[in-house]
Amino acid sequence: MKKILYTILFSFLLLSFLNAQPQNVYVIPIKGTIELGLASFVERSLKENPNAKAFIFEIDTFGGRVDAAIRIRDAILSTPNLTIAFIKDRAWSAGALIALSCEKIIISPSGSIGAAEPRPAEEKTISALKAEFESTAKKRQRNPKIAAAMVDADEVIPGLKQKGKILTLYAEEAKKWKIADEILEDLDSVLKYFRLEKAKVTNLHPNWAENFVRFITDPTVSSIILTIGMLSLYVAIFTPGLGLPELLALICLGLFFGGHYLAGLAGLEPLILFILGLILIFIEMHTPGFGIPGIAGSISVFLSIYWTIVQKGGTFQALLTGIFVVLSLIIFLAIYLPRSRVWKKFGLSGSQKKELGYTAVQERKDLIGKKGKTITMLRPTGIIEIDGERFEAYSESEFIEPGEEVLVFKVEGNKIFVRRSEK
């Protein structure tokens, strides 16, 4: 009998001790553009705090990437902890999906939820996103038709929404139609409503890497970085020497591919494909050929960018827009820059006319058939020596080491073409 009493007493003391432990509540901000960096931050926050009493998602966003919102939605639905969405101001577009995935939704008097029609508003994308909204609402025992009406303008809800308009609910409507559980002013009111006012509240924030990824993968920033990188690459290809264009191209394209890799938008494959494309373009520039390396390199560069942008949730329209901007700027630089006042300050405006005493370089046809020795490596250009006289020469199709015997087989203007001499 004593053993039973001691067991009961011990159990009571243990429960009292556990109840005395502070309850942990974590506040996760969903603010600004929803990006893959934010998705990584939410996933990490839920994973690192499995013993949380509740997670409160403080939402104030116009939306963002659908794939990022779906990752956040999946993470919220899979956690066993209590999840609360507190719509501080607005939960639009992708933000509405995140709010609907929480067990409880609290909205402030100035808050609103909805406006989730995808862009571009194509039937395929509307259907897919509509299904996500409906299934999420059903999972949380909310009206799936109201959730669908936030995405599809064709949905009709008598007394609430007409055909042809996207649904956005303000606070009183959200509570009336049981999308929101309550209207509360601030976070303290939310904690009191769920009897968590004595809990230990911790505000979580993204780390530097997640903030970096959020910035780099922002659609606007990513497009600007890609445009600058491609323009710098274009200038570097047609400008000899290693300088600012090469450095800027490496930095911008490194940020573009690196940011997407860290965000999980792309693996190493697109980066490897892009580097391969650059190598092929370099080969085309420095070796005579039929354009095959250049064409293959250009295709590789395009496919690497396509792979990075489109494969993981981007749109082909965004890719085409970026390409159009880059090509437009390249054409502008090629046509109008030489005519500008700034360019004329760095270039020669005069022409060397025959009447003024200028003569063209005499073709050294007499060198055809003669043999010489390479002074420097030809890759493909370098210096050779023939009969004690030095010339700049071009190899036929390969690099030629210094000290090798070469044969002149063609002369075009001031260009002398050589190949290895057959001994």
Q: What's the CATH number where 373 sits?
A: 2.40.50.140
Query: Has residue 15 been placed in a domain?
Result: no
Residue 90: CB atoms within 10 Å? 24
Query: Is the domain of 200 the same as that of 221?
Result: no
DSSP-derived letter for residue 365 is G
Query: Is the domain of 168 the same as that of 300?
Result: no
Query: Has residue 352 been placed in a domain?
Result: no
Bond prior to 380 in cis (omega within 30° of 0):
yes
Kind and range of the H or E run holding 170:
strand 168-170
Query: Has residue 246 been placed in a domain?
Result: yes
Kind and range of the H or E run holding 41:
helix 36-48
**pLDDT for res 263:** 58
Query: Is the domain of 38 the same as that of 121?
Result: yes
Q: What is the pLDDT along the chain (423 residues), one digit of tens a residue?
A: 555 655 655 555 544 444 545 689 999 999 988 887 888 899 999 999 999 999 999 999 999 888 889 999 999 999 999 999 999 999 999 999 999 999 999 999 999 999 998 877 788 889 999 999 999 999 999 999 999 999 999 999 999 998 989 999 999 999 999 999 999 999 999 999 999 988 999 999 887 777 777 777 776 777 777 778 777 777 766 655 556 777 787 787 777 777 666 655 555 667 677 777 777 766 666 555 555 666 677 677 767 766 666 554 444 455 555 555 555 655 555 555 555 555 555 555 555 555 554 455 567 788 888 889 998 888 778 899 988 888 888 887 777 888 888 988 888 877 889 888 876
Query: Has residue 1 been placed in a domain?
Result: no
The residues, ordered by sequence, that sit 6+ positions from 377 with a Cβ below 8 Å of its Cβ are 399, 400, 401, 402
**pLDDT for res 338:** 57
Domain that holds residue 34: 22-206
Query: Is the domain of 195 the same as that of 287?
Result: no
**pLDDT for res 348:** 52
Query: Has residue 56 been placed in a domain?
Result: yes
| Rounded Cα–Cα distance for residues 168 and 171 (Å) | 10
Cβ proximity of 219 and 260 under 8 Å: no
The residues, ordered by sequence, that sit 6+ positions from 384 with a Cβ below 8 Å of its Cβ are 372, 373, 374, 375, 378, 390, 391, 393, 406, 416, 418
Buried b (16+ CB within 10 A) or exposed e, 272-301: ebbebbbebbeebeebeeeeebbebbeebb
Query: Is the domain of 108 the same as that of 37?
Result: yes
Query: Has residue 95 been placed in a domain?
Result: yes
Query: Has residue 212 been placed in a domain?
Result: no
Query: Is the domain of 105 the same as that of 80?
Result: yes
Query: Is the domain of 37 the same as that of 64?
Result: yes
| Rounded Cα–Cα distance for residues 319 and 297 (Å) | 18
Whole-model pTM: value is 0.62
Cβ proximity of 37 and 210 under 8 Å: yes
Q: Which of 206, 230, 257 is the last residue of a domain?
A: 206
Query: Is the domain of 193 the same as that of 59?
Result: yes
Q: Which of 342, 357, 373 is the last residue of a domain?
A: 342
Pairing mode, strands 82-92 and 104-107: parallel
Q: At what angle do helices 208-216 and 36-48 cross, to 10 degrees?
A: 150
The full 3-state SS of 270-330, as one line of letters, equals HHHHHHHHHHHHHHHHHCCCCCHHHHHHHHHHHHHHHHHHHCCCCCHHHHHHHHHHHHHHH
**pLDDT for res 8:** 59
CATH number of 101's domain: 3.90.226.10
Cβ proximity of 218 and 33 under 8 Å: yes
Query: Is the domain of 189 the same as that of 276?
Result: no
Query: Is the domain of 314 the same as that of 248?
Result: yes
Query: Is the domain of 145 the same as that of 254?
Result: no
Q: What share of the chain is helix, strand, coil (3-state, %, to 5)?
A: 50, 20, 30
Q: What is the DSSP string of 102-168?
A: SSEEEE-TT-EEE----SS--HHHHHHHHHHHHHHHHHTT--HHHHHHTT-TT--BTTTB-TTS--E
CA dihedral 278→282→284→286, nearest 10 degrees, is 180
For 41, how many CA atoms within 13 A lie in the half-sphere containing its CB? 25
CA dihedral 78→84→89→92, nearest 10 degrees, is 30
Report the domain count for the chain: 3
| Rounded Cα–Cα distance for residues 304 and 271 (Å) | 7
Q: Which of 278, 307, 342 is the last residue of a domain?
A: 342
Entry field: residues in the chain: 423
Q: Tell me if residue 368 falls in helix, strand or coil.
A: coil
Query: Is the domain of 373 the same as that of 284?
Result: no
Query: Has residue 126 been placed in a domain?
Result: yes
